[in-house]
Structures are given as structure tokens and as C-alpha cells.
Structure 1
Amino acid sequence: MNYDTAVDFGLLLLRVTLGLTMAAHGYNKFFGGGRIPGTAGWFDSIGMKPGLFHARVAASTEIAAGLGLAVGLLTPIPAAGFVALMLVAAWTVHRANGFFIVKEGWEYNLILAVAAVSIAAPGAGRYSLDHLLFSGASFEHLLHGWCGLLIAIGLGLVGGIGQLAIFYRPPAKTG
């Protein structure tokens, strides 16, 4: 096994693990315990209003970004989805708890976002739809390297910050 094949396999392993983990979160919002109505109530309670809208958007984005990253399709775009989702989650739910996940902090959100963005830099690799469909295409350079990295970070930050600026209304503190 040569170096390039090992790198491509490593990218595949990371993409599929991250992607299916994110897609599972979206699936759970649609079909788990409280389903969309329960998720909507939770979104309302954390200040993301209207909750029903955000439940649907979050669940759909988690599934789309997760599956897009897993199969390596237009990789910087699903990576941007990870950034936006994890920025909103970190800010609305985990920020007040500090960094460490053991205290329900934002550590996990950071790892998921950075891992997804890190895939956008080298690209999805040889075992991806990007390679299968777009290898040699005139816009292939946008799917990796500095372009892929900047698209993932920039689009993700714009999406996450935009969602927070437009929709987030912190719940009133009681006590």
C-alpha cells in the first residue's frame, strides 16, 4: 500500500465517521424520542425561534451535511454545514458550560467543525464522489486546497453567525 492510498483511505474513514455521526443526529431529530415537535420545543427553550423552523432546518442540515461529507460530494459545502451547525450549538447550548465536554461544554462542537474543515483542505480524496465526478473539471480547484478551506470556513461562519443574528433570542434568566 503506498502513501497516497493510505491518505485516501484515512480521508474516507474520517469522512464517513464524521458524516454518519452528524447524519445520525439529524435522523434522531426527525425520528427519535420527541421527534420534530419535541425538538422544536427544545429550540424554543434555548432561544432559537421559531422552534419548529429551526428543528426542521437543523435536522435537514445535519442529514445533508453528514451524508454529503460521508460520500465526499462538493466537500467544502457540507464542511461549511458542520461549521454553521456547531457554531450555533456551541453558542446557544454549550458556551456557558466552558470548554470541556464532561461539563457539557463546547469541546465536541469544536472537534466536529475543525475535523470537517480539515477535510476540505486536502479534499475528499480518491474514494469520493468529488474525485469520481469532478476530477479534471475546470472548477476542481475549488473543492480542495486553500479554496476548499476558505469556502468551508467562510460559508460556515456566515451561515452560523447569520442564523444567530437573525433568530437567536436568549431566554430570560430566572432566579
Structure 2
Amino acid sequence: MEADDDYGPREEVVEREPHAWHFGADLGLLVLRVTVGVLFAGHGLQKVFGMMQGPGIGGFAQYLTSLGFQHATVLSWVTGLTELAAGVLLVLGLFTPAAAAGVLGVMANAIWTKINVHQFAGAVEVEALYSAAAFALLFAGAGKISLDRNTPWFRRAPAYGFVFLLLAAGASVVTLVVLR
């Protein structure tokens, strides 16, 4: 407590150091990152290697062709590798803005091509959850329990989140406009 003034005793304001340990928030970000990362990497393994009853590149390319995409084989590789890399990077908490933007970009395209306005939540509940989780990680960052903890994008997560959001949006629009 400091000296009294006209309004009573003044309290000293103690400011927390930036990026101080916050067990609850950092643990929550770790769980979110690992869950989304493992699931998304699994989707990538299904597409790239055909693991876990996945379609493989050929099967996914056929699916993309049925949705009206051109250059489906190249797009299958890009999508599968993006899912695999983004998932692994999220688990590690490494290059989190890029990884979260990768998830968000893939999910934006999935939602756009799959949405059915006559069904509850457009029948894209899972895609919406992935997108919301990626958006949260994009702007909150990886948390202290990550390999990103000493990087500029960790210290300035919202700024880097915005930049990578623009990149994901641009890639999604190009994919939908040019390749479909």
C-alpha cells in the first residue's frame, strides 16, 4: 500500500511480465494443439499414404474431381501434405501460425464445398470445430509448453495470426476460384 490521497489509500499496481507462465491457459493450449494436430495429421496420413482406411492420393483425387476441381492429383498432394505437416507442427508447437493457417485454409475449402444450407449447421460441424480451434491457435499462439515459446511469432501472436489468416484466406480463394 502506498500513501493515502483524497480518496483513501492507494494500492500499488503490480504488472505481470509479458508471456508469464499461466498454467491453465498453457495447459489448455497444449491439449488443443495436440488434439487438433494428431487428428489432422491422421487425415494427412489417410490422404498421402492411404493409411487407416484412407483413400490415398488417387482416391482423394477422384473425390476432388467429383467436386469439380481441376488438377485434382496436384491438389490432393498439396492438401494431404498440408494436413500432415500442419498436424505435426501443431503437436510440436512449432511454427504454430503457419500450421494453424494451414488447418484453417483446408477447412475453409472443405466447408465451402460441403456445406448444405438445408441441414443443421450446414452439415459441417466437424469442419467448423477444426476451423474454430485453428482460429483460436492462430491468434492465441502455442502457449509456453511449445517449441515456439522463444520466437517472435510467440511474443506477437495476434500480429502474426492476422498475417497468416490473410495468407490462408488468399490460398483458399485461389484454390476455389482457379482450381474449381
Say whether the fold is shared (TM-score over 0.5): yes
Residue 144 (structure 2) pairs with residue 123 (structure 1): no
Confirm or deny: 8 A CA contact 2:47 2:76 kept in the other structure.
yes
Residue 36 of structure 1 deviates from its aligned partner by 1.3
Could you tell me which residue of structure 2 aligns to residue 60 of structure 1? Answer: 81
Could you tell me which residue of structure 1 aligns to residue 23 of structure 2? Answer: 5
Unaligned stretches of 5+ in structure 1?
Answer: 169-175
Post-superposition CA distance 1:33-65 (Å, at most 9, x none): 432111111111111222211111111010011
Residue 63 (structure 2) pairs with residue 42 (structure 1): yes
Confirm or deny: 8 A CA contact 1:120 1:144 kept in the other structure.
no
Instruction: Give the SS at the match of 2:142.
Output: coil
How far apart in 2 are the matches of 1:80 and 1:90? 15
Q: What percent identity do the matched residue pairs reach? A: 31
- Bigger relative contact order, structure 1 or 2 (CA pairs below 8 A, ≥6 apart): 1
Residue 97 of structure 1 deviates from its aligned partner by 5.1
Match of 1:96 among 112, 116, 140: 116
How far apart in 2 are the matches of 1:143 and 1:78? 17
The structure where helix makes up a greater share of residues is 1
Could you tell me which residue of structure 1 aligns to residue 171 of structure 2? Answer: 159
Residue 149 of structure 1 deviates from its aligned partner by 2.6
How far apart in 2 are the matches of 1:119 and 1:98? 30
Following superposition, which runs of at least 4 residues in structure 1 exceed 6 angstroms of deviation?
A: none
Q: Alignment RMSD, CA only?
A: 2.2
Structure-2 change in CA distance of 1:21 and 1:100 (3 Å): farther
Q: Looking at CA atoms only, which structure, 1 or 2, has the larger radius of gyration? A: 2
Residue 87 of structure 1 deviates from its aligned partner by 0.8
Could you tell me which residue of structure 1 aligns to residue 12 of structure 2? Answer: none
The alignment of Structure 1 onto Structure 2 pairs a total of residues equal to 158
Post-superposition CA distance 1:10-40 (Å, at most 9, x none): 1111000001111101101122443211111
How far apart in 2 are the matches of 1:113 and 1:143? 23
Amino acid at match of 1:161: V
How far apart in 2 are the matches of 1:124 and 1:99? 34
How far apart in 1 are the matches of 2:73 and 2:97? 28
Confirm or deny: 8 A CA contact 1:76 1:143 kept in the other structure.
no
Structure-2 change in CA distance of 1:143 and 1:63 (3 Å): farther
